[in-house]
Amino acid sequence: MSGLAVFSLKFPSLLKFDEKRNEARIRANLQSLFGVRQAPCDTQLRAVCDQVNPAELRAPFIHINQRLYDHRLLENFRYLEGFLFSINGTGQFASSSVCCPQCCQRHHRNGPIGYYHQLLAAVLVHPDQKQVLPLFPEAITHQDGESKNDCELNASKRLIKQLREAFPNWPIRVVEDSLFANGPHIKLLKELNIGYIISVKPEGQESLFEEVKDRFFKHETEEFEVLGDDKIVRGYRWINEIPLNKSYPDLQVNFLDYWEIRDGKEFIFRGLPRSN
């Protein structure tokens, strides 16, 4: 509970918590909110919390979110006939001197070895909702029996399988960045019946953009522009069921291009020229 208090009371570090834990006001909060009469020192807190496998913390995330879902309290988060799970990696720890067996390592030429931990986070989001609801994260840490570093993409394999297992009946659509625009990942999403919105860039997705360009000049893409009340013109172009890339010609994806025109200036975010 003291570990939870560090985050819930928004201490910037464990050290700060250690400095303040015996102040009267903090003691009162620890007692009334967390039932902690005597918070442990930082060494003891580490000794206890370090032993906890992050996966053991999943149950409350699953139970709370499932209850909200069952009581239809997540209806305001429904979007595109489902729920958007935004998935992204974040750094959590980095050091050149402190490390543990689960650390990933970065080897610099002629420099010290960098040790780090990262997390792959999944949160329930909606474009019109200010709040995001955290689902459980997956640790990006050195995996038993692996010689290579763990990475975001590997962790995502574990995370999305576990999300599907935890929420078997939810219509899930993941929102991911271009790192995830690859064949094996999209195949796994399809197998698990998970929809996806993955942003892509021409760099790294050359054959996909070539294909779109080709179809565009053959007039096979569809598009329209609308002028909004805010005087911004928004343009959309799309084509359905085109191959992701040459390595996965059978893997069909839908492609959506979007641009904005403000004060006559054009902001083309992804791909091709406008046709008119």
Binding residues for Zn ion, per CB under 5 A? Answer: 100, 102-103
CB 5, min distance to Zn ion, A: 23
User: Which residue, 104 or 122, has its beta carbon nearer to Zn ion?
Assistant: 104
User: Which residue, 89 or 271, has its beta carbon nearer to Zn ion?
Assistant: 89
User: Which residue, 4 or 100, has its beta carbon nearer to Zn ion?
Assistant: 100
CB 40, min distance to Zn ion, A: 21
What's the half-sphere exposure (Cβ side, CA atoms, 13 Å) at 242? 20
CB 12, min distance to Zn ion, A: 21
- Cβ atoms 77, 126 nearer than 8 A: yes
CB 20, min distance to Zn ion, A: 26
User: Which residue, 55 or 100, has its beta carbon nearer to Zn ion?
Assistant: 100
CB 95, min distance to Zn ion, A: 8
CB 99, min distance to Zn ion, A: 5
User: Which residue, 97 or 276, has its beta carbon nearer to Zn ion?
Assistant: 97
User: Which residue, 142 or 173, has its beta carbon nearer to Zn ion?
Assistant: 142
